Amino acid sequence: MNDAGEGREPHKGSASLSPSQQDYLKQIFLLNDASQGATTQLLAERIGVRPASVTGMLKRLAEEGLVERAPYRAVHLTETGRRIAVEIVRHHRLLEAFLSRTLGYRWDEVHEEAEALEHVISERFEQKVAELLADPDRDPHGDPIPTRELALKEDEHLTTLALLPKGSRGTIRRVTLQDQDALNLVERLDLLPGRAIEVAGTHPDGISLLVGGSRFLVPALLAAHLLVDVAPHPSSAQPKTREGTGRPVAHEQ
């Protein structure tokens, strides 16, 4: 008469996939989303495995109809694959918001924990958290949280700080970094989402910034990962210039 609890709930569809498989789908999605092209090598770096392992896994995912793939080319998600990937991104960002707001995690601590939890929480957990936080639409890094229906709003009006010309004003909206040291630096410089900034000058090695009275240099590497809203105050009558040239470098969850 003992049962010991089998697994049985099919959730939405992300069940039955191993955490590893989920990770691959997520990273393919994030790379494509950042218009980077999900190449074998980039995936290997993001996931932390060797390129050969990526090839192997992509074959398996292709067989299951989750990705489309031609040898030596970048992969793409099928509709099914995309749904699962977005689901996981939702888990991740919702968890980040939760860890930060409810459990009092520091800004730079949330990513790692969410990374572990995202593959494991149930549909119910997701819903309860969303409820508790009143359906948040941003995680602590400013990344948009996909809705329950898996719609993901894109931040078309955001620009990489690295590309802003001298004199621009704006508000930091997203910080697309996950490296602990880099996050610490961002925090020390007080460049968290919501911060109003002004570009005092551009240099080959970075951007000179005017923020809260003081002026300092943001290294180019960092600047590429700070996404700025250039029409922050409704007062400024700028009609959303739409400068979608350079690819935003974002690689993040």
- Using CB under 8 A as the criterion, which residues of the chain lie in contact with a copy of itself when the complex forms? 1-6, 44-48, 99, 102-105, 109, 111-113, 115-117, 120-122, 124-125, 128-129, 132, 178-179, 221, 251
Backbone φ and ψ for 3, nearest 5 degrees, come out as: -120, -35
- Closer to DNA by Cβ: residue 69 or 83: 69
Cβ pair 82, 29 in contact under 8 A: yes
Which of 185, 180, 21, 34 is CA-nearest to residue 111?
180
- Sites for DNA among residues 163-222 (CB under 7 A): none
- Closer to DNA by Cβ: residue 2 or 245: 2
Instruction: Give which of a copy of itself, DNA, none residue 195 binds (C-beta under 5 to 8 Å, depending on kind).
Output: none
Count of residues in contact with DNA, rule CB under 7 A? 25
* Helices 40-47 and 19-33: angle between axes, nearest 10 degrees: 120
Does 110 bind DNA (CB under 7 A)? Our answer is no
- Closer to a copy of itself by Cβ: residue 67 or 129: 129
User: Rounded CA gap, 7 and 51, in Å?
Assistant: 32
Cβ pair 197, 162 in contact under 8 A: no
Could you say which of 12, 59, 153, 203 contacts DNA (CB under 7 A)? 59
Contact characters 16-35, DNA, x per CB under 7 A: --x-xx--------------
User: Rounded CA gap, 47 and 57, in Å?
Assistant: 12
Smallest gap from Cβ 229 to a copy of itself, in A, equals: 26
- Sites for DNA among residues 62-101 (CB under 7 A): 69, 71-74
B/e letters for 164-188, b = 16+ CB within 10 Å, e = fewer, are beeebbbbbbbbbbbeeebbebbee
Strand partners, 86: none
Establish how many alpha carbons lie within 13 A of residue 217's alpha carbon, considering only the half-sphere containing its beta carbon.
8
Could you say which of 58, 158, 197, 207 contacts DNA (CB under 7 A)? 58
User: Rounded CA gap, 171 and 166, in Å?
Assistant: 15
- Closer to DNA by Cβ: residue 17 or 145: 17
Instruction: Give which of DNA, a copy of itself, none residue 241 binds (C-beta under 5 to 8 Å, depending on kind).
Output: none
Instruction: Give which of DNA, a copy of itself, none residue 71 binds (C-beta under 5 to 8 Å, depending on kind).
Output: DNA
The residues of the shown chain that bind DNA, judged by CB under 7 A, are 18, 20-21, 39-41, 47-60, 69, 71-74
